[in-house]
């Protein structure tokens, strides 16, 4: 069921609980949007240079994974993690060749597995952690709150793409 009330979730510091509420709302709407999609739908490319819905779903999971590593572990993806998530992160040609042939359940489990880790880690954080500042290699500052805001905006943006792809598929049938 989709919750339309943003409120601090139990077991989390207040602002982190509100963030969790937003993350979970965004995910519930994304999952709702996927209802009834077949493997063919998930693999469909609407144009030679487009991304499939399946690739976009793994991209959503990969962005969350990257932000886990950056914010919780203070590092970048390692070689093994890049092997698993690289195609999904980059999208494009590599994703078009690598990400296909999976049922919806595969993508849902990948999203759920990454989210379980996010929720587990967020339970250990306090509000000061959200505002903890760091810098990218180019000396641009960011905080953990921004990182998790980006996870939200990325999922919402790609969900818009998924909706557009679904409309195009509907018109081709």
Asked if residue 173 has pLDDT above 60, the reply is no
Asked if residue 127 has pLDDT above 80, the reply is yes
Taking the C-alpha atoms of residue 77 and residue 93, their distance in angstroms, rounded to an integer, is 21
Which of these, 5, 11, 22, lies nearest to 145 by C-alpha position? 22
Predicted confidence (pLDDT) per residue in 46-70, tens digit: 888 899 999 999 999 999 999 999 9
Taking the C-alpha atoms of residue 113 and residue 36, their distance in angstroms, rounded to an integer, is 21
Which of these, 42, 41, 44, 5, lies nearest to 22 by C-alpha position? 5
Confidence band, pLDDT 50/70/90 cuts, at residue 145: very high
Which domains, and CATH codes, for the chain?
A: 14-172 (1.20.120.450)
Beta strands 141-143 and 133-135 are: antiparallel
Q: Supply 44's token pair.
A: 């469909």
8 near 19, Cβ under 8 Å? no
Q: Supply 31's token pair.
A: 């999952």
Report the predicted TM-score, pTM, of the whole model to 2 decimal places. 0.94
Asked if residue 89 has pLDDT above 80, the reply is yes
130 near 143, Cβ under 8 Å? yes
Predicted confidence (pLDDT) per residue in 41-50, tens digit: 999 998 888 9
Taking the C-alpha atoms of residue 82 and residue 96, their distance in angstroms, rounded to an integer, is 17
Helix, strand or coil for residue 133? Answer: strand
């Amino acid at each position: 069921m989709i919750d339309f009330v943003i409120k601090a979730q139990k077991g989390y510091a207040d602002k982190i609980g509100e963030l969790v509420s937003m993350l979970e709302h965004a995910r519930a709407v994304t999952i709702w949007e996927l209802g009834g999609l077949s493997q063919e739908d998930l693999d469909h490319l609407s144009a030679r240079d487009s991304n499939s819905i399946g690739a976009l779903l793994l991209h959503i999971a990969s962005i969350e994974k990257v932000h886990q590593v950056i914010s919780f572990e203070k590092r970048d993806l390692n070689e093994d993690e890049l092997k698993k998530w690289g195609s999904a992160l980059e999208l494009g040609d590599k994703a078009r060749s690598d990400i296909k042939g999976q049922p919806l359940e595969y993508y849902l489990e990948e999203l759920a597995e990454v989210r379980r880790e996010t929720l587990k880690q967020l339970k250990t954080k306090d509000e000061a952690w959200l505002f903890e500042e760091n810098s990218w290699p180019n000396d641009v500052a960011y905080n953990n709150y921004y990182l998790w805001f980006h996870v939200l905006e990325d999922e919402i943006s790609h969900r818009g793409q998924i909706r557009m792809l679904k409309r195009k598929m509907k018109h081709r049938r």
